[in-house]
Structure formats: structure tokens, C-alpha cells
Amino acid sequence: MKSYLLKSYFVLLLLFAVFSFVLADPNLFLLKADWFVNFQTFLWRNILPLQNLRTAFFFALVLSLFLNYFLILRNWSKLDLDKRQNFWRFLIIISLPLIFSYNALSYDLFNYIFNAKMVVEFGANPHLKTALDFPDEPMLRFMNNVHSVAPYGYGWTALSLLPYLAGFGKFLTTFVVFKLFSFSSLLLSLLILEKFFSKVNYRQLALFFFNPLLLIEVLSSAHNDLWMLAPALLAVYLAGSLKKGTLVKLFLIVILMGISISIKFATVVLLPFLLYLILKERLGSWSKIAIFDLMSLSLFLPLLIERSKHFLPWYLLWSLIFIPLVKNKLWRNLLLVFSISSLLRYLPWLYYLPWMSFHLDTSKVLFWQKSITWIIPAFYLLLSSLLFLFNRRREK
């Protein structure tokens, strides 16, 4: 059981990495080596056109990943992952296939790269200029969202210059470096979350770090959300362990939250909680408060507004990052259910791929995406309520 669950999880993530190239943009070959061109062409010719097959395979793969994930959690005591070295090693191993996968479910990575390129090579401001202002740019062939300015803060634009410069102007190298940069945000978040435990509970950490939604959105799609969350998380830790009159820590908290909010604005909702932690005398043990539940809930609320585009899957990470510290079982389980429905939200998009569906009516795609996102958690809540009432009746 021990080796089977760990090996099968790696194999499933490897399958996702291979499958990701089925959805590679038709105007892009990451490698021009003959073997890769033949591999990519085979996927495009033999799997991509099969609408039902590609959708059913993704559905089965997501369910298998979550089943394997829950079995790892259920059999935790048998897996020897409570040791820090083993936990970190396993996380790194299962991350490798996704680091080298294609960013199949999002084009944001290309926008990160091009916005940094605007600054470094064109001397342009991506918050004022769009990709369409550079009509001769080869990346326009496979980019999305070329008509609008950078939707992120200046903090992310500045931070993204690091992996771009490390790519030395080569697209493939830059692509891989950005993936590794995203991987480093995962490891940084783990280092910070470990600090919240007097004795680290790695099973609780696995709720977040082994979650398929996190692994796919951060490592495969290379979203920048953990770069926003990591400094905010460290600010929360410093605020909770603040001693009276510690000006250095107060200064660091302000800097960290400034960095976080400058990357994406969502963590501004944590400011009242930070103020509470700073002002509260003798906070005591983390275990005596449910403030992390409230923080998680507060970061869930922005997902409901128009700016979040009706709950984009990777935005759930804002709330999910606190799941190792959440005490309310219902809210913790609901977040896990939302992580399943968030990945399954891709199914309608996958069925009606934009470049494969010019002849089809795609007007209902958003409706079906919203329905999948919300109906599954609603069904879970209904089932939980009925089970609760049934148990109460039995007790009486």
C-alpha cells in the first residue's frame, strides 16, 4: 500500500504532464527536435480531434488524482511522510513532471513572459501598453489576452523580471525558468507554513501541498498566486508572534504586505486581521483561536465578485492556503470539495476548445463552468446536512 499510493500519484501526475501537450497551442513547438515534433504532431492528429475522448480522459484523470490524494491522507500513518525529509522529497518528486509539462489550462504564463519582455527589450510599460502594440512580435502567434494591459500589480511586473533575465532571451529557457520560479514559490510557502506549528503536522500540510489543484495550477500552469500569498503568510506569522515594541517586525510586516498587495490586490482583505494580531495583547497559542478560518473565509469572498471572473480555479488557492490551519471541519471539507469542482470546471472549456470549435455554439460554456463549480459543493452541503440530521435523530 505504501509504495503503491506514492508511485501511483507520481504516475498520474506524469500522465497529466503528457496529456498537457495534447492541448499545446497549434502555433507553438516548445522543442524543434525531430522526436518532439513527431510526438507533438502525433498528439495533435490522433487525440486532440477526439472531443469526447480528451474530455473523458481529463475527467477520469482528475477524479483519479483526487482519489489517490484522499487515499494518501487516509493512509498517512503507513506512508512515513511525517518526517520532514521524506515529505519534502516526495513533494519535489511529484512536482517534476508538472514543471516540465505544457501550461495546458492557462495562457497566463505567456503573458508573464511577454510583459517582462516589454520592460527589458522594448523599454515599455506593460501596464500602459498591450501586446498588440508590438505586431511583429513572434509570441503573438500563441498568446492570449493580447488586447489588454497587465492585470497584475507593479510588484509582479518587477518580480517577473528575475526569471525573464535568467532565461537569457531564449524562449524555451525562459519558459522553464518561469516554471522553476513558480516551483520556488511553492517551496517558500511550505517553509513559511511550517513555522506556524510548534511541532509540524505534515498531514495537515499535505492537505494543501499534495492537493491536485495546487500542483496543477502552480506547477503546470505556473500561476503567480503563491508569490502574492507567501509574503502575506509570513506577515501573518510575524504579527502573531509579535512582542510589544518590536519595531523591526512591524516594519517587516508592512513591507511584506506591501509586496503581497502590489502583486495582486486580493490580500488587502487580511489587513484587519493583521491589525488585530498586532494590537491583541498576549495572543497565546495559535490553537486557541480560529482566526485562520476567518482569514480563509475572507479570501474566499473575493472569488464571488466580477473582477475574479466568476471563480477562476486557481483563485481558490487564496483561501485554500490556510487549510492546514483551519479548525472548522465543515469549512475544511468544503474547501477540498471546491478544489475538485474547480479542476472539473475546465471540462466545458476542454470540450469546446476555442481553436477547435469555430463551427459550434459555445455560448453556454460559462454557464456550465459556473454550474460545475457550485453544484458539486452544494450537493456536498446538502448531503452533509441530511447526514447531520439523521445522526441527531438517531441520538434522540
pLDDT in tens, 79-106: 999 999 999 999 999 999 999 999 999 9
pLDDT in tens, 310-366: 678 999 999 999 999 999 999 999 999 999 999 999 999 999 998 888 777 888 898
Q: Is the pLDDT of residue 1 over 60?
A: no
Cβ neighbour number for residue 259 with a 10 Å cutoff? 22
Contact 240, 205 (CB under 8 A): no
Residue 65, pLDDT score: 98
- Summarize the confidence of residues 223-247 as an average pLDDT: 89
- Summarize the confidence of residues 225-241 as an average pLDDT: 94
* Packed helices 329-344 and 365-395: angle between N→C axes, nearest 10 degrees: 150
Mean pLDDT of the chain: 92
| Residue 215 pLDDT grade (very low, low, confident, very high; cuts 50, 70, 90) | very high
* Packed helices 108-122 and 171-194: angle between N→C axes, nearest 10 degrees: 110
Contact 278, 254 (CB under 8 A): no
Least confident of 38-47, 173-182, 284-293: 284-293
Residue 178, class by beta-carbon neighbours within 10 Å (0-12 exposed, 13-18 middle, 19+ buried)? buried
For residue 168, which phi and psi values (nearest 5 degrees)? 55, 30
Q: Is the pLDDT of residue 250 over 80?
A: yes
Q: Is the pLDDT of residue 286 over 60?
A: no
| Percent of the chain clearing pLDDT 90 (strictly above) | 78
3-state DSSP assignment of residue 295 = helix
The amino acid at residue 255 is: I
pTM: 0.94
Q: Is the pLDDT of residue 134 over 70?
A: yes
| Residue 10 pLDDT grade (very low, low, confident, very high; cuts 50, 70, 90) | very high
pLDDT in tens, 55-78: 999 999 999 999 999 999 999 999
| Residue 307 pLDDT grade (very low, low, confident, very high; cuts 50, 70, 90) | low
Contact 21, 5 (CB under 8 A): no
Q: Is the pLDDT of residue 284 over 60?
A: no
